[in-house]
Amino acid sequence: MICLGVEATAHTFGVAVVDGKGRVLSNERDTYRPKKGWGIVPMDARNHHEEKASKVMEAALKKAGKAMEDVDIIAFSQGPGLPPCLYAGMNFSVELAKKTKKPLLGVNHCIAHIEIGRLTTKLKDPVTLYVSGANTQIIAHAAGKYRIFGETQDIGIGNALDKFGREAGLTFPYGPEIEKHASGGRWIGLPYVVKGMDLSFSGIVTEAIKRREKGEKLKDVCFSIQETMFAMVTEVIERALAHTGKSEVMLTGGVAANKRLQEMIEIMCRERGARSASVPWEYCGDNAAMIAWTGIIAHRAKQKPLNLKKAEVLPRWRTDQVDADWV
Ligand code: ATP
Ligand code: FE2
């Protein structure tokens, strides 16, 4: 079984070819870069995706050594994401499915992050921390679905770090820059905002910016913002472990690259006799291999192909709306 996957929920347009054994034969992408100082402009991202789509697909097939005839199913990221980007991915996939007469499956982007993580880390049934620019979720499988045990109530942890980095005059990419500056910093105390199992980051950013303006050292503020935010997510993960009785933690998303975050979670896991692992960098950010692999899983779980005339994008599709009874 060969699946061609298409990812287009935000910055990245990706196409990948994955086989039924979970071998990634190719994983190509082209990422939209906003103009300097800007965030993502959804219509510009859509134009980027439409422009690059065919080239990325050809590269993916070529690298995999496959032709469209070898492909059994096509899967695409149906949501959640920015509607203009999602449309670019869906329109491209629907056209391809029509032309080649292959079944087309819609895949949930967040679940795809978890499935490629389970494939590459070999963790079986982890509590997952998904921390990217826009997302901060603590997810675990329970009673047939991936359920969100905790999440941000405002902005994602990556965007929070980026906002502070920009205001503090650091250079892009901000997350790794803050990590560098944090080394050797001193604790200055910032608000710690855990509400039940949910988190909130925007007040911390505001306070951190104020502290910096009042003359606190950059390295101290960078250190403290990391310590605070990462301790918050570690606390929620620990409670999710206790509640579900699971013994594995998986880290994914761009922020999972942070060594201090990894360390805090490792320490917490060690103390509980649990195990943690980070998804390899290539599969941590948005990529199409995760969509192709989840397409294969969904196909095996008897998910019906979409009616090409009625296909729709699902910008607010939640993780716990998908029946994931394959776990
Ligand atoms: P989303 O998938 O939510 O739309 P995205 O595509 O921007 O967001 P990713 O590429 O997964 O998400 O992650 C990007 C984020 O990761 C940025 O906010 C960046 O600052 C952050 N990041 C990257 N490396 C590090 C690091 N070493 N420490 C902390 N944050 C980091
Ligand atoms: Fe993502």
Closest ligand relative to 285 C-alpha: 1
Looking at residue 282, its pLDDT comes to 94
Q: Is the CB of 89 under 6 A from ligand 1?
A: no
How confident is the model over 248-273, as pLDDT tens digits? 999 999 999 999 999 999 999 999 99
Q: Based on the domain organization, do 192 and 135 belong to the same domain? A: yes
In the predicted structure, residue 202 carries a pLDDT above the cut 80? yes
Q: Based on the domain organization, do 14 and 93 belong to the same domain? A: yes
Percent of the chain scored above 90 by pLDDT? Answer: 96
Assign residue 185 the CATH number of its domain.
Answer: 3.30.420.40
Q: Is the CB of 252 under 6 A from ligand 1?
A: no
At residue 39 the predicted structure's pLDDT band, cuts being 50, 70 and 90, is confident
Arithmetic mean of pLDDT over the chain? 96
The average pLDDT across 10-36 equals 95
Looking at residue 173, its pLDDT comes to 82
Please report whether residue 164 resides in a domain. Answer: yes
Q: Is the CB of 81 under 6 A from ligand 1?
A: no
- Please state the pTM of the whole predicted model: 0.94
Q: How far is the CA of 39 from the centre of ligand 1 (A)?
A: 13
Q: Based on the domain organization, do 89 and 155 belong to the same domain? A: no
Q: Based on the domain organization, do 109 and 14 belong to the same domain? A: yes
Domain of residue 136 covers 124-283
The residues placing their C-beta within 5 Å of ligand 2, an ion, are 132, 286
Ligand 1 pocket test target in 137, 155, 161 with most atoms within 8 Å of CB:
161
The average pLDDT across 125-134 equals 95
Burial class (CB in 10 A: 0-12, 13-18, 19+), 44: middle
Please report whether residue 267 resides in a domain. Answer: yes
Percent of the chain scored above 70 by pLDDT? Answer: 100
The average pLDDT across 34-50 equals 88
Query: Which ligand 1 atom sits nearest the alpha carbon of residue 12?
Result: 6
189: left (phi over 0), alpha (psi -120 to 50) or beta: left
Reference 225, options 251, 206, 198, 197; nearest CA is 206
At residue 145 the predicted structure's pLDDT band, cuts being 50, 70 and 90, is very high
Q: How far is the CA of 253 from the centre of ligand 2 (A)?
A: 7
Q: Cα–Cα distances in Å, from 221 out to 13, 169, 193, 210, 224?
A: 35, 13, 17, 10, 5
Sign of CA dihedral 147, 149, 155, 156: negative
Q: Based on the domain organization, do 219 and 99 belong to the same domain? A: no
Looking at residue 37, its pLDDT comes to 67
Please report whether residue 18 resides in a domain. Answer: yes
Looking at residue 35, its pLDDT comes to 82
Question: Structurally, how many domains does the chain consist of?
Answer: 2
How confident is the model over 215-226, as pLDDT tens digits? 999 999 999 999
The average pLDDT across 77-87 equals 97
Instruction: Give the length of the chain.
Output: 327
